[in-house]
Amino acid sequence: MAETRVLNGSEILIECLKEQGVKTVFGYPGGAILNIYDALYKHQDEITHILTSHEQGASHAADGYARTTGKVGVCLATSGPGATNLVTGIATAFMDSIPMVAITCNVGVSLLGRDSFQEIDITGVTMPITKYNFIVKDIKKLADTVRRAFTIAQSGRPGPVLIDITKDVTAAEYEYTPQEPAPIERQTDTIREEDIETALEMIRKSQKPFIFVGGGAVLSGASEELKVLAHKIQAPVADSLMGKGAFDGTDELYTGMVGMHGTKTSNFGISECDLLIVAGARFSDRVTGNASKFAKNAKILQIDVDPAEINKNIHTHASIIGDLKVVLRKLNARLDPMNHEEWLQHVERMKDMYPLRYDKTQLTGPFIMETIDELTKGDAVICTEVGQHQMWAAQYYKYRKPRTLLTSGGLGTMGYGLGASIGAKMACGDMGHPDTPVFNIAGDGCFRMNMNEIATATRYNIPIIQVVVNNHVLGMVRQWQNLFYGKRYSHTVLNDAVDFVKLAEAMGAKAYRVTRQEDLKPVLEEAIALQAPVLIECQINCDDKVYPMVSPGAPIQDAFDDTDLKIK
């Protein structure tokens, strides 16, 4: 029988984190959370705490840790501004269904609602961007609340949970009895036999099936099942930004990303198919383009763990609600191999006709990503910020495994990637492969948002490789201004005196500047070998663009690139 002990609230919290197998947390102390930090000091041999430069960095690091491991990421912040600084990171995790527990502390119960120093209703602030949140004002409820938070964060469709604890609860004493974590069961009770039968009939009748893979395939660990299904029914496979790596990017059936900056093959293939099997994707507007014209020739079969996603953005002809891995196993077990050679040959011809293209004569974002892919052979974790560099990272790096692309897909958070890369590198160590290279690919605009986290990497000697793709502009916004706003570059030029190499060196990192193609590979090789925090600034042309592109409001089959513009 487990031993019951009397502990203060802070000790109870730490013991509950240990119950859940938490090895690393990210945070920033302050007055209201001091008792918890005192307890962390006493348990520093069991739980590693990474002090970030800003609470937003802590929330992104916890998110990156969760995306890399599949486990719950944990971040800590004090009351008031400490708690509100977590909000962007919590919203980022919420939009991408990432399991995270954010722990904040508030003023004592007697001071709540009195506009006390550094008091804020953080549960009210975060209600729309958390899966669930709690305020703990009674120490008797603390342990059960923490355990519930971890269960909620991981169950069904994952997401962030916030626990706000009043300072007096962190100091009060109560009995603590250890418990084994509740097992997280896959959601199967919603999988109906009639839905499986309908799906099987649709697949068997299809002559031109196509599989569209989203982030849910990564979260459910359904990679092997997807591969079996695609090859059994001979269906081409495209993915969303969040689905990268769920299906091997080097597989012969893979056609690339779909949507605004997807490949023409994927966009045309989805527009021509007669059955679209949607595996854990939510039909974001960046995927569908003009929703009324999306996949108009196809019956749509959507498989998702969250019933709220069915018919939310795109009308489906059939759906299966439940854990994707389990659903695909059921389908695979009852499907016989199918022959769609004519359809596959047509798709292969499109691949030959519409390859991704870029200027091979100078240093560009695509060249940077292809060089990193060549050096790592897919055995790396790629984090990104948001913008042109993010799309190049999605297009030109071949993600062979899930959980190797960490990016803000739903919220589009500039400043996400550097904190996430720190979390990812800590995760690699906790998972037993500390030598896996971790890159953060940033534009110069994004890097400015949270570049202070370079100091976090150097403080702990966390060997992340920060690549700054510097075009001296806000590249994606400039691209839109160039194409759709008459080249009126309103407040998007960043051509100032900031020297990223000196800045990184001032924070203790090794730094390089690359301006020519031939210098990139040796610098990357040296950066990987150093096993230290490194920044590489790569200077590119300010008018390089991400192609293909779909104009806002247009159907995805209207994707164009620079060759199409020249014809016009």
Cite the active site residues.
Answer: 55, 117-118, 167, 476
Q: Under a CB-based contact definition with an 8 Å cutoff, are residues 450 and 54 in contact?
A: yes
SS3 readout for 79-105:
CCHHHHCCHHHHHHHHHCCCCEEEEEE
C-alpha 504/C-alpha 465 separation (Å) is 12
Q: Under a CB-based contact definition with an 8 Å cutoff, are residues 426 and 462 in contact?
A: yes
CA within 13 Å, CB half, 308: 2
Question: Strands 5-8, 173-176: parallel, antiparallel or unpaired by DSSP?
Answer: antiparallel
CA within 13 Å, CB half, 541: 14
C-alpha 557/C-alpha 263 separation (Å) is 10
Greatest Cα-to-Cα distance within the chain, rounded to the nearest angstrom? 77
C-alpha 266/C-alpha 249 separation (Å) is 13
Each residue of 4-31: b (16+ CB within 10 Å) or e? eeebbbbbbbbbbbebbebbbbbbbbbe
Of 79, 261, 94, 230, the C-alpha closest to 161 is: 94
Each residue of 222-234: b (16+ CB within 10 Å) or e? bbebbbbbbeebb
Tokens matching residue 197: 């039968």
Backbone angles phi, psi at 29, to 5 degrees: -80, 170
Q: Under a CB-based contact definition with an 8 Å cutoff, are residues 326 and 191 in contact?
A: yes
Sign of CA dihedral 149, 152, 153, 154: positive
Of 78, 228, 100, 215, the C-alpha closest to 154 is: 100
Distances (CA, A) of 163 to 87, 149, 189, 460: 13, 8, 29, 27
Cα pseudo-dihedral 366, 368, 374, 379, rounded to 10: -100
C-alpha 133/C-alpha 215 separation (Å) is 24
**How many angstroms separate the first and last alpha carbons of the chain?**
77
* Vertex 197: Cα angle to 196 and 200 (nearest 5): 85
Of 86, 124, 109, 120, the C-alpha closest to 166 is: 109
| Helix 324-334, helix 193-205: angle, nearest 10 | 60
